[in-house]
Amino acid sequence: MSRPTQCCFCSSLKGTDFIGETWDRHRHVREVPTDAFGDISFAGLRQKTGKYARVSTNTSPDVLYQLLTEQWELPPPNLLISVTGGAKNFYLKARLKNMFHRGLIKVAQTTGAWIITGGTHAGVMKHVGQAVRDYALSSSSTRGQIVAIGVATWGIIHNRNALVNSEV
């Protein structure tokens, strides 16, 4: 995969250099060309792959849209569905969970929507992920693609160092 154009990431400078100071984004973070992007495989019944890129909070929405539609070749959305909420896990009764899953997938399918979440496996975002996973596992190639985008902060990603491209 080629490097995303104009995408940068923020990197915290060595914390020991600033002991005793109040953290300041402008002093303690630097922005450099991204070294964390590529394809990621999700293990399961069927091997699924997705794409990822580490970007700065200052990255222009236009640049991100270009990355998603031109480089990753996602179809432009007709609707954005943003599912947000706390990352606290909660129990959904089976009937309500099934209604949520079916409703979310149906809306995304019929409208050509992108589903955007906080990208974690907790709370309501976990239920979105399960709905998309279940759809992908049960769907045939003739059914429409569901686009789900997780936007997570770099610090909460498990094994994030494995996502850094050492050749860049």
If one counts every other C-beta atom within 10 angstroms of the C-beta of residue 5, the result is 11
The tens-digit pLDDT sequence of the chain (168 residues) is: 455 545 555 555 444 455 667 777 677 666 777 778 888 877 665 667 889 888 888 888 999 999 999 999 999 999 999 998 877 888 889 999 999 999 999 999 999 999 999 988 889 999 999 999 888 888 654 567 899 999 988 888 888 888 887 665
Rounded Cα–Cα distance for residues 55 and 82 (Å): 19
**Rounded to two decimals, what is the model's pTM?**
0.76
